[in-house]
Amino acid sequence: MSRPLSVGVAGLGTVGVGVLRLLRDNADVIGARAGRPVAVTAVSARNRTRDRGVALGGLRWFEDPLALAADPAVDVVVEVIGGAEGAARALVEAALSHGKPVVTANKSLIAVHGAELAAAAERHGAALGFEAAVAGGIPVIKTLREGLAGNRIARVAGILNGTCNYILSAMREERREFAEVLAEAQRLGYAEADPTLDIDGIDTAHKLAILAALAFGRPVAFEDVHIEGIRRVSALDIAFAGELGYRIKLLGIARRSDGGIAARVHPAMVPAGAALARVDGVTNAVVAEGDFVGRVVLEGAGAGAGPTASAIVADLIDLARGRLTPVWGAAAAELTPAPSAPMLQHVGCYYLRLMVVDRPGVIADVTAVLRDLGVSLESMLQRGRAPGEAVPVVLVTHETGEAAMRAALARIAALEAVLEEPVLIRIEPG
């Protein structure tokens, strides 16, 4: 057996410790599959004394991650510090500039700086693995970049954030409101103390930007992703969705069309029988649609120390075996400069829910606005009667352009009988 692959791990949080544990616990199978031992020899973290539940004896310790990257005895750097800037970015740039391969779980870094990092990796001939950055241990990066590489991908969509999916699942199952379920998720450790990145859709957008770049073979373009989170999803809308045969999911969706590549993150109504509708709790799932392969669905745990470590180690085994792939699936010169399609060009069906005063003529006013803007209705649902009081009205449209829909929404919101800001949820095939 050849020389061991010497791994330096920067960051000893739960994921870093998970990598150490996995490489030790499964050293035999990993060595067999990698063709050589894969072992952590150096680590970097600030607090040297904290008990992390894993033996660190015999490992070289660097307080400065850049020193770890510079250590000639380290063959590959595992970056699990996190964050798009600061120490993580500096470390990855430094390692690549030394021609040293990097494996990272850092979705924001890859989504935001992936184009420059790919250029650096190509320039210095160093690999950059990031299977762990999207959907935990589910091999979605490998599937898009290698497994489906013969296909033109038309669409990739997924449930990419376990926190949001847990919250939406619990809201539906327990008929509870967002704020209450979020608080519970925070108590249970499924949501961060500051949940912004998750519930405002930013984490999903990071992952979607990565998937879209791989699926369509173009440089990553995080700044072009349209992002809406789940704060405004209510138990009422989840109940209406159920009545209409849908589930509400926070989806990341990227689609290629003549107008370019549209990438968007927003709550979506998905038919209850669709693959993505049935994915509940913290599970992640990705659907890819290729011209020859058809629809492929991948599902599994999207986060956690074990699944994330599994993805990082898969990248390390690829490196140990010398299985190399350009960061975005093709050399920079071979990527397509396909433009991003703006959200206002989106066409789809919409769910619109209003709270209106229950009195004659209100529906006529609302539907007149829709008619004037060329929005045609598929169905309307009005529940309960309470003359003079607020009642919900649900409208489902046929295919409509986003621009017309937004114009209609503004006019409807301005009607005197419309009491709250209208809720708009896009309908997706799932």
Q: Which residues pair with 426 in a beta bridge?
A: 268, 350
Which span sits near a second copy by CB under 8 A: 30-38, 203-211, 258-266, 381-389?
A: 30-38
Residue 290 and residue 296 in contact, taking contact as beta carbons nearer than 8 Å? yes
Report the residue number, 172 or 353, with the smaller CB distance to a second copy: 172
Distance CA 227, CA 203 (A): 10
Distance CA 137, CA 151 (A): 23
Contact between 149 and a second copy by CB under 8 A: the answer reads yes
Window 1-20: contact mask with a second copy (x via CB under 8 A) = -----------------x--
The pairing of strands 246-257 and 260-271 is antiparallel
Distance CA 393, CA 373 (A): 19
Q: Which two tokens stand for residue 84?
A: 């798009």
State the Cα angle at 204 between 267 and 16, rounded to 5°.
145
Window 186-225: contact mask with a second copy (x via CB under 8 A) = -------------------------------x--------
| 207 noted as active-site residue | yes
Quote the least distance from Cβ 197 to a second copy, whole Å.
Answer: 23
Number of neighbours of residue 150 by Cβ within 10 angstroms? 10
Report the residue number, 97 or 151, with the smaller CB distance to a second copy: 151
Report the residue number, 244 or 297, with the smaller CB distance to a second copy: 297
Can you give the C-alpha Rg of the chain in angstroms?
24
Quote the least distance from Cβ 311 to a second copy, whole Å.
Answer: 8
The pairing of strands 377-382 and 390-397 is antiparallel
Window 335-364: contact mask with a second copy (x via CB under 8 A) = x-----------------------------
Q: Which of 100, 107, 207, 249 is catalytic?
A: 207
Contact between 254 and a second copy by CB under 8 A: the answer reads no
Q: Which two tokens stand for residue 10?
A: 């920067």
Provide CB contacts within 8 A for 139, sequence distance 6+: 131, 147, 298, 311, 314
Residue 418 and residue 227 in contact, taking contact as beta carbons nearer than 8 Å? no
Quote the least distance from Cβ 280 to a second copy, whole Å.
Answer: 10
Cα-based distances in Å from 364 to 36, 360, 376, 421? 73, 8, 14, 19
Using the rule CB under 8 A, which residue among 291, 389, 399, 420 binds a second copy? 291
Using the rule CB under 8 A, which residue among 29, 55, 344, 368 binds a second copy? 29
Contact between 76 and a second copy by CB under 8 A: the answer reads no
Contact between 326 and a second copy by CB under 8 A: the answer reads yes
Provide CB contacts within 8 A for 114, sequence distance 6+: 209, 210, 213, 219, 220, 327, 328
Contact between 176 and a second copy by CB under 8 A: the answer reads no
Contact between 25 and a second copy by CB under 8 A: the answer reads yes
Using the rule CB under 8 A, which residue among 137, 162, 201, 430 binds a second copy? 137
Using the rule CB under 8 A, which residue among 275, 338, 347, 415 binds a second copy? 275
Window 35-64: contact mask with a second copy (x via CB under 8 A) = x-----------------------------
Distance CA 21, CA 343 (A): 44
Q: Which residues pair with 102 in a beta bridge?
A: 77, 128
> At residue 395, what are phi and psi to the nearest 5 degrees?
-125, 135
Cα-based distances in Å from 108 to 114, 260, 314, 333? 9, 23, 20, 24
Distance CA 219, CA 327 (A): 10
Report the residue number, 41 or 382, with the smaller CB distance to a second copy: 41
Residue 133 CA from chain centroid, whole number: 9
Residue 76 and residue 7 in contact, taking contact as beta carbons nearer than 8 Å? yes
Report the residue number, 23 or 212, with the smaller CB distance to a second copy: 23
Report the residue number, 111 or 317, with the smaller CB distance to a second copy: 317
Which span sits near a second copy by CB under 8 A: 85-93, 150-158, 242-250, 363-371?
A: 150-158
Using the rule CB under 8 A, which residue among 209, 317, 354, 369 binds a second copy? 317
Which span sits near a second copy by CB under 8 A: 159-167, 177-185, 304-312, 370-378?
A: 304-312
- The catalytic residue positions are 207
Q: Which residues bind a second copy (CB under 8 A)?
A: 18, 22-23, 25-26, 29-35, 131, 136-139, 142-143, 145-152, 217, 275, 278, 290-301, 304, 306-307, 309-311, 313-314, 316-318, 321-326, 329-331, 334-335
